[in-house]
Structure 1
Amino acid sequence: MKVQCVICDGQSQLDDDLPLAKKLRNRPIHTYMCHDCYERIKIKTEARLASGNFHLYQYDTKNNEF
């Protein structure tokens, strides 16, 4: 299966038997991000968390509030 990264527009080839390929085929809202872009976002997010200037808002399901 041929896929394209949503960030860098790089094209990759996925094996048709992979769970990710099945997810992308059956649920069109899911998007593909290449490994390089995923790692870059992961590192930058961890750096923001470590800086202390990043506040993660999580939804409280008990009180239905943020």
Structure 2
Amino acid sequence: MRVKCVICDKVESIEDETLMAKRLRNRPIHTYMCKECYERIELNTNKRIATGSFHLYRDKKTDDNW
């Protein structure tokens, strides 16, 4: 299956039988990010969390379920 990163528009191929491919086929709201973009966003988010001024606002009901 050919997929396109939503951030950098890089086209990649993933196996048709993977969980990610199934999610992309069955639920159009799911988007694909390439490994480089995913790691870059993860790194920047961890930097923001380390500053102490980053707050993740979640509903108390959903926090209890996790």
Shift of 1:56: 1.3
CA distance in 2, matches of 1:21, 1:55: 32
Match of 1:23 in 2: 23
SS in 1 for 2:38: helix
Structure 1: runs of 5+ lacking an equivalent: none
Q: How many residues align?
A: 62
Structure 2: runs of 5+ lacking an equivalent: none
Runs of 4+ aligned structure 1 residues displaced above 6 Å come to none
TM-score normalised to the size of structure 1? Answer: 0.88
Deviations 1:17-66 (A, max 9, x none): 1111011011111100111000000000000000112111111118xxxx
What amino acid sits opposite 2:12 in the alignment?
S
CA distance in 1, matches of 2:19, 2:58: 28
Q: Tell me the C-alpha RMSD between the 2 structures.
A: 1.2
TM-score normalised to the size of structure 2? Answer: 0.88
Output aligned runs, 1:1-66, within 5 Å. 1-61=1-61
| Rg larger in structure | 1
Higher relative helix content: 2
